Amino acid sequence: MKIDESKLDSIINEYNGEKGSLISILQDIQAQYQYLPREAMDHVAKRLKIPRVQVFGVATFFKAFSLKPKGKQQIHVCMGTACHVRGSRMVLEELERKLGIKAGDTTADNEYTLETVNCVGACALGPVVVKNEEYRGQMTPIKVESLLGSKKT
């Protein structure tokens, strides 16, 4: 992927090139690209005059950052205890089957990214699936098709 260095420079300039703004800069870059491209992180390190390892360290320390491209649609399956005992594993398996990917992966067309999370804090609604920040409670394998809309395999 070719990155637009002028866009990166614009983001960095919004924070006056402050080294202390590294996390905010990375958040804005991720919002732009849906992940943190290696080339972008190299450029940030160069512009902020900090070691590349420091930029990569921040990017890998925080779970909010991704070094892999994410799909346009983000699906998170809660695997917390309350959701697990109510069948979240079967919901996850149906999502994996329908999308043709495993948890942690993105579909080839970059439409969907499927991930598991430890808890979304909506235990009474379990099992819970969060699609693009919208909570869907009492999810079942049968409801997966309606969750995905027209995406069928």
Tell me, what's the pLDDT at 1? Answer: 64
Tell me, what's the pLDDT at 2? Answer: 80
Count the domains in the chain. Answer: 2
Average per-residue pLDDT in the chain? 93
What pTM does this model have?
Answer: 0.74
One domain, residues 139 and 79 = yes
Q: 130: domain CATH number?
A: 3.40.30.10
One domain, residues 144 and 87 = yes
Please list, in sequence order, all residues whose beta carbon lies within 8 angstroms of the beta carbon of residue 33, skipping any fewer than 6 positions away: 1, 3, 40, 69
Range of the domain at 42: 5-61
